[in-house]
Chains A and B, each alone.
Chain A
Amino acid sequence: MSKIRLLSLQLLVAVVMIGLWQLLTTVPIFGRLLLPPFFFSNPVDVGSQIVAWFSSGVIWKHLAITLWESILAFAIGSLGGVLFGFWFARQPTVAAVFDPYVKMANALPRVVLAPIFTLWLGLGIWSKVALGVTLVFFIVFFNVYQGVREVSGTVLANGRMLGMNERQLMRHVYWPSALSWMFSSLHTSVGFAVVGAVVGEYLGSAAGLGYLIQQAEGVFDVAGVFAGMFVLSAFVILIDLGVTVVERRLLVWRPDAAHQRV
């Protein structure tokens, strides 16, 4: 399928969906509206809400807050995941002792931690960051752990025979291997950082996209809820594009990454 054809078909789906939505919420069929506007709003209202947010500029503050929370959650969670992943992979005893607790912590649905974090850290950004960190940490942790443990034995022996000491093996063999695993999960971990931030905001905050959606919902402003959702989707897609660019630069040496994206 050619690129233009694909793009036009993709656009067609959007047009049909929005068209149906508009039709069913505004034009009565057999004397009644199939989608009552109170519950479903309509595309025009949602669109004008989005335009209003951007033209008045209120949205920027909320976007900035959510973005900042996501970045902090990603940075702190990744750092912790890398450190602990490395430590556990190099110390099998430590890994064995902590194994059940790591599994337990990872099994816990992280949303239930949100009230605790709000209690501990207040309504500001840090309770949201903490929630995001608990999500990002485990993804990075497991990937780094795997990456360090699955270093090819031959490559390792080669490093030794070339005269590397433990520190140099760490830097030239274990570290790049672990990073490559971590970067291969970059999309997931960045996504979870945003999820942590938005869910945290939704459950109690004074700013951010989650707050915006929660406020709209509180006053039955369905158009506001949908508008918030659309802005959020666009936000996540933009971040994901950024991640793809970073990934393509960092993983040039990987055969699969290079082939997929050329």
Chain B
Amino acid sequence: MQAAPAAPLATPWAVELDDATVAFRLADARVYTAVERARLSVAHGEFVAIVGPTGCGKSTLLNVAAGLLKPAAGTVRIFNEPLTGLNRQAGYLFQADALFPWKTAVDNVAIGLEISGASRAEAHAAAQKWLTLVGLGAFAGRYPHMLSGGQRKRVALAQVLIRNPKILLMDEPFGPLDAQTRQIMGNLLLDLWTADRKAVLFVTHDLEEAIALADRVVIMSAGPQSRIIGDWRVPLPRPRDIFEIRLEKEFHTLHREIWSVLKDEVLKGYAQSTGETSAV
């Protein structure tokens, strides 16, 4: 399936990180460099997955693209415009629960439209439609605590997509879910994305998930001073079913190839994290 041809634009890139370095000042005045000189571009309608060992600064990079963090050096461009403040073109799906616990599912989804000036009735109608799209049409009146983890993720997805952002940033969104629910959510995400291709930046630590979902897989080295050390194109055809695609031969070849690079970083990251904890 081909993406609908967008209007000709000055740049093919939705997100461009140019030598972005992110540093934090620690309590003891030392400077911790989380990500060093990251260079990454995401095209219109492209699904890019970032994979790396725990603590490598994948989420940090995503927060930079969202405008939640300012890079210490380097530039961020969104549709060729330098990013100042929050990224208004982007929707962000968080790893942790980010729904408003005091709002029902339908209110949670409607809020994005309501705050941008839509009438309550209008926003609710649209929210109900989106809830149905993510398979929760019958759960509109439930509060988040009455929903399962997977259902909450569906609501969160609808909450983000209802605003029709041009860029979708996802921070290990299915991380807290069990394996089966993750796959179901992966397919749901692909279905929704195929209908209306947005640029997606998807952070995960699960290489299989990354290959199954993405057009490109980007690998980051173990932190600190983590860098982007690899960039693979995923040649698998779309539409994909992520239950099935794991059985393809190409999937395995690519997985083996990327894993040979990623493995060293994972072990390095693991050694560092255990070394650090024993030192504390």
Contact = CB atoms under 8 A, between A and B. Distances in A.
Interface of A: 152, 154-155, 157-165, 168, 172-173, 176-177, 180, 252-255, 258
Contact of A253 (B90, B112, B115, B145): B145
Given A162-B112, A162-B115, A162-B159, A253 B102 contact: yes
13 contacts: A152-B96, A154-B94, A154-B97, A155-B99, A160-B68, A161-B68, A162-B115, A162-B159, A172-B100, A172-B111, A176-B102, A180-B102, A253-B102
A85 B98 CA distance: 24
**Residue with the greatest number of chain B CB neighbours at <10 A, chosen from A152, A154, A163:** A163
Contact of B98 (A155, A180, A255): A155
A163 B112 CA distance: 7
Nearest to A258: B145
B86 A161 contact: yes
Please give me the 4 A-B residue pairs with the lowest Cβ-Cβ distance, nearest first: A158-B98, A255-B145, A161-B92, A253-B143
A254 B115 contact: no
Contacts of A165: 115
Contacts of B160: 162
Instruction: Classify the secondary structure of B's interface with A.
Output: loop
A157 B163 CA distance: 16
A172 B163 CA distance: 17
A154 B172 CA distance: 14
Contact of B115 (A164, A177, A258): A164
Contacts of A157: 68, 92, 94, 98
A159 B156 CA distance: 12
A154 B98 contact: yes
Contacts of B235: none
Contacts of B90: 161
B117 to A, nearest CB: 10
Interface string B79-97: 0000000101011101011
Contacts of A258: 145-146
B102 A163 contact: no
Interface residues of B, number: 28
A162 B111 contact: yes
Contacts of B103: 172, 253
Contacts of B68: 157, 160-161
Contacts of A177: 102
B219 interface: no
Residue from B88, B91, B100, B102 whose CB has the most chain A CB atoms within 10 Å: B102
A191 B250 CA distance: 70
Contacts of B98: 152, 154-155, 157-158
Nearest to B165: A161
Interface string B55-95: 00000000000101000000000000000001010111010
A126 B212 CA distance: 71
A160 B112 CA distance: 10
A172 B159 CA distance: 15
B239 interface: no
Given A160-B86, A161-B86, A162-B111, A253 B94 contact: no
Nearest to B156: A158
Given A155-B101, A162-B159, A177-B102, 20 more contacts: A152-B98, A154-B94, A157-B92, A157-B98, A158-B92, A158-B100, A160-B68, A161-B66, A161-B91, A162-B115, A163-B116, A163-B163, A168-B115, A172-B111, A176-B100, A180-B102, A253-B103, A253-B104, A253-B143, A255-B145
A172 B123 CA distance: 15
B94 A158 contact: yes
Nearest to B159: A162
A154 B92 CA distance: 11
A258 B96 CA distance: 22
A258 B102 CA distance: 12
Interface in B153-171: 159-160, 163
A163 B100 contact: no
Contacts of B143: 252-253
B127 to A, nearest CB: 13
A163 B88 contact: yes
A165 B117 CA distance: 12
A253 B112 CA distance: 20
B88 A154 contact: no
A163 B91 CA distance: 9
A32 B224 CA distance: 86
Contacts of B91: 161
Contacts of A252: 143
The CB with the most chain A CB atoms within 10 A, among B66, B101, B163, is that of B101
Contacts of B159: 162
